[in-house]
Amino acid sequence: MEKVKEIIIHTHIPKTGGMTLRSIANKNYEKEKMLTNVFPSSLPQFKKDIVEKEDIEFVTGHHPFGLHMYTNKPCAYITMLRDPIDRVISMYFYNLRKENHPLHKKVKELTFEEFINDKQLARRTVNRQIQKIVGNLNPNENDLKKAKKILSKHYKVVGITEMFDESIFLMKKELGWRDISYERKNYTADRPTKAQFSDEIIEQIKKLNQLDIQLYNWARRKLQKRLDALDSGIKQELEGFLNRNSK
């Protein structure tokens, strides 16, 4: 009997390179076999679609881990994590410049310091990455442990935005993707770098995102170990891919 193909679920954490990753997925899955823009608010429609559309192969959206519970088919996950400080900086300037974004009106009235300390925006700026893995808007140390277990057990690849090419190369190998060429999507150009902010501002972001920082560092170490363990032939293939993308 033919093995049932896994449904790949992409946990899209905002401002981690997810739209670029989705553009790569578009090259590797037929449009009719993809479910995109899955949000918590669209969960009822997702439950309906995942049952009625029998040939779904790829799912993506800003929905926390757990979508596999709504289907009897085998599922596996992928995601990207990003340096939490850079993610928060990118989010502010993206929302500031994108006039049709729901947060634009609010964000344009805030300085960056006000943005990172705004209580109403905390669920978007404070430990957002762990939130999306464990589904808790106010994560704690136990959720950090839970997130590591979930990522280790259910995710075929936990990519790192700062190692994007290495990450998608592993996804190609794990998922059988044919084409991983890409152009960057939703890139916030001309935004300040971390070095352009005061030490006090950076320390405040770190203070608010301690759990995300720990999760990110853990995931980055694991990714590097995985890359180090590749056999020589695969490493040469990766090196060629990195060289082509650096030109």
- Strands 58-61 and 75-81, bridge-based pairing: unpaired
Domain that holds residue 61: 7-246
Number of domains in the chain: 1
> In the prediction, which pLDDT does 183 show?
86
Residue 1 within a domain: no
**Average pLDDT estimate for 183-207:** 87
Query: 189: pLDDT confidence band, cut at 50, 70 and 90?
Result: low
| Cβ-proximal residues to 49 (8 Å cutoff; 6+ apart), any chain | 35, 56
Domain presence at residue 100 = yes
CA distance 227 to 155: 16
pLDDT-based confidence at 1, cuts 50/70/90?
very low
Distance CA 59, CA 9 (A): 5
Query: Where does the pLDDT of residue 29 fall: very low under 50, low under 70, confident under 90, or very high at 90 and above?
Result: very high
Is the separation of the CB atoms in 151 and 162 below 8 Å? no
Contact 116, 201 (CB under 8 A): yes
| Per-residue burial over 201-234, b = 16 or more CB atoms within 10 Å of its CB, e = otherwise | beebbeebbebbbbbbebbbeebeeebeebeeee
Residue 200 inside a domain? The answer is yes
Residue 208 lies inside a defined structural domain of this protein: yes
Query: Is residue 174 a part of any domain in this protein?
Result: yes
Q: Is the pLDDT of residue 137 over 60?
A: yes
Assess whether pLDDT exceeds 90 at residue 163. Answer: yes
Determine contact, residues 159/171, Cβ cutoff 8 Å: yes
pLDDT tens readout for residues 109-135 = 999 999 999 999 999 999 999 999 999
Residue 187 belongs to a domain: yes
Instruction: Measure the CA–CA gap between 184 and 33, rounded to whole angstroms.
Output: 23
Distances (CA, A) of 224 to 70, 85, 116, 246: 33, 20, 30, 19
Torsion 28-31-35-38 (CA) sign:
positive
pLDDT of 2 reads 47
> Stretch 87-98: mean pLDDT, rounded?
93
For residue 46, give both structure tokens: 């997702």
Quick check: is 2 in a domain? Answer: no
* R_g (Cα) of the chain, nearest Å: 18
Question: Measured between alpha carbons, how far is 135 from 147 in angstroms, rounded to an integer?
Answer: 10
Task: Tell me whether residue 220 is in a domain.
Answer: yes
- The domain that contains 144 carries what CATH number? 3.40.50.300
Query: The tokens of 23 are what?
Result: 């553009």
**β strands within 112-236, DSSP E:** 155-160
Residue 6 has a CB neighbour count (10 Å cut-off) of 15
